[in-house]
Amino acid sequence: MALDAKFFRKAKRSNRAVEITDTEAVIPAVKDAAEIRVPLPNRRPLTFEERKVNLDARNIQIAALEEEIEVERKKLMALTKTYKETRTGIPEIVAQNQKVKEMMERRSALVHPEVWVEVIKGLTLKDVFESKRDGRKVDNNSGVYQVKRRVEPITSLYVDIGVAAAAAVVKAEEEEAEEIDAKLAADAKAKAAKTAAAIAATAAPAAKPAAEAAQGAIIGKRVIKMKKGSAVAPA
């Protein structure tokens, strides 16, 4: 089990306070339910350089998205102009408008990854809108809510050391496996080339050149020299 909402719901159902140690969160045993222990995450804050890398990458995404939005917005303006002139193309305008809207929402999510509503305690609508001439129209009992946005979510300000270490180990193992696979492939290729060379060496010898073959034939032939004045016997 992880340290999440499910863990705290279990603690609430068992009506037991969660005990926090240096390394674990503990729900004490109750009746026949066993004790539950969950390791606490080991986190450290990101360095300024690490945060800058993340922010720069997100700024690049935002800039690229803004360019796309501008292109699609111009298409929407062109469709609207065509409609004013011809009174046609309403479905295309609706579809293009929805496309631009979705891209704007994506941009907003990139700029402010976390958005929430918070009650401002001790402040009423009257404090916000009160004026000498019209204060009677404001309900003094209404709460005041404020939409808050965060450029960097809390989760991006810390790194889990355990998770990062595990990811580093996995990456190192993958790189080692790739090196082993590459070495095995190279060895197999070299072995195949060696085998092919051995087969070629034991194959039938290549035909000799014509001149060499003719010379060999003459050397191997018996030459009989006839003496002067000797006659050849009739067959």
Q: What token pair was written down for 67?
A: 């360019």
Identify the three-state secondary structure at position 160.
Answer: strand
How far apart are the C-alpha atoms of 107 and 110, rounded to whole Å?
A: 5
Task: State the first-to-last Cα distance of the chain, in angstroms, to the nearest integer.
Answer: 114
Could you tell me the pTM of the whole model? 0.51
Most distant CA pair in the chain, distance: 160
Compute the CA torsion angle 29, 30, 31, 36 (nearest 10 deg): -40
| C-alpha closest to that of 96 among 77, 83, 68 | 77
* Per-residue confidence (pLDDT) for residue 136, from 0 to 100: 55
Per-residue pLDDT in tens (0 to 9) along the chain, 235 residues? 777 788 888 888 777 788 888 788 888 887 777 888 888 888 888 899 989 998 999 999 999 999 999 999 999 999 999 999 999 999 999 999 999 999 999 999 999 998 888 887 777 777 777 766 655 555 556 677 888 888 888 778 888 876 655 566 667 777 778 888 888 888 888 888 888 888 877 765 555 555 555 555 454 445 555 555 555 545 4
* Bridge partner residues of 114 (DSSP): 150
- 36-65 burial, b if ≥16 CB within 10 A, otherwise e? bebeeeeeeebeeeeeeeeeeebeeeeeeb
